[in-house]
Amino acid sequence: MEAQNQEVAALVEKIAGLHAAISKLPSLSPSAEVDALFTDLVTACVPASPVDVAKLGPEAQAMREELIRLCSAAEGHLEAHYADMLAAFDNPLDHLARFPYYGNYVNLSKLEYDLLVRYVPGIAPTRVAFVGSGPLPFSSLVLAAHHLPDAVFDNYDRCGAANERARRLFRGADEGLGARMAFHTADVATLTGELGAYDVVFLAALVGMAAEEKAGDVRRGGFDVLAVCHPEDEVINSVIVARKVGAAAAAAAARRDELADSRGVVLPVVGPPSTCCKVEASAVEKAEEFAANKELSV
């Protein structure tokens, strides 16, 4: 126990030092210093850790929340930088591998697709929404190109500039793929009615948030969590798979969640069918013949 306590203290001290250094950066735009610090942060967070986030003190919790915000902001700067770089080519989609983490998106999209077909066998969606697509919509691009070739993708982001950057990437794209990718500026909070019309919905989520926390929110939102997937490599992703349920079933799921919390029970965790990277939680919603029983993976 003493050794474990020392390990926890050392990790918290390491991350606290990185937080202090990142907080002092004059800019989060890509640079050698920014890249090195965030690489160190990811490296520190990758190994399995005995840290129980829920038991951290208020100062550590505040630091964690600030790091989530900083990581999200830095990711936005990084994606905008590379979106502009790629847009300078005649055929931007031919140069996606220039983005240093493109391969991670490929693996993440495969993970999301594998989990989708595992929990919704036989699904063949024709309309897919991706919420929070950003200036580099790699996840929806890879899913559209390699896993869901018959689906039309509507990409939603609340930032108009991000959508404009994303559109420029499809200049000169294959007509079939380009025609299946649309971009809309909207906040997810305003999309309640629209999302119900899709066969599948993928929701991008903030970096670093605990999957169990997200799962609790999902269950309280009327979805029954089927599984939580934590990749077991250098990846810091989690994927939650959930199904939309009726009011009575949602209430029962919420009661189960409360009981699980009171007993210290963890949501069902599944092993990943593949590796992945970049922090994203995917949400999958199946409509088809079950209008009242839509499937969602978040």
Q: Radius of gyration (Cα) for the chain, nearest Å? A: 20
Whether residue 59 is found in the same domain as residue 127: no
Coil, strand or helix at 200: strand
The answer to whether residue 231 scores a pLDDT higher than 70 is no
Coil, helix or strand at residue 244? strand
Pair 194, 111 in one domain = yes
**φ, ψ at 153 (rounded to 5°):** -110, 125
Q: What is the pLDDT of residue 47?
A: 64
Whether residue 84 sits in one domain with residue 227: no
State whether 108 and 235 are in the same domain: yes
Q: Decide: residue 108, CB within 10 A, 0-12 exposed, 13-18 middle, 19+ buried.
A: buried
Q: Is residue 284 in some structural domain?
A: no
Q: Are residues 1 and 41 in the same domain?
A: yes
Residue 273 lies in a domain: no
Structural domain count, the chain: 2
**pLDDT for position 103:** 87
CB atoms within 10 A of CB 189: 7
Q: Band of the pLDDT at 137, cuts 50, 70, 90?
A: very high
In a domain, 151, yes or no: yes
* Residue where one domain finishes, among candidates 69, 88, 107: 88
pLDDT > 90: percent of the chain: 29
User: Of the ranges 40-54, 149-163, 226-240, which one carries the lowest mean pLDDT score?
Assistant: 226-240
pTM (2 d.p.):
0.73
Task: Say if 218 falls within a structural domain.
Answer: yes
- In tens, the pLDDT along 25-83 reads 999 999 999 999 988 888 887 766 667 777 778 888 889 889 888 988 898 899 999 99
pLDDT of residue 276: 29
Euclidean distance between CA atoms 136 and 157, whole angstroms: 11
Q: Please give the residue range of the domain that contains residue 145.
A: 99-254
Residue 238's pLDDT band, with cuts at 50, 70 and 90, is low
Q: Please report whether residue 264 resides in a domain.
A: no
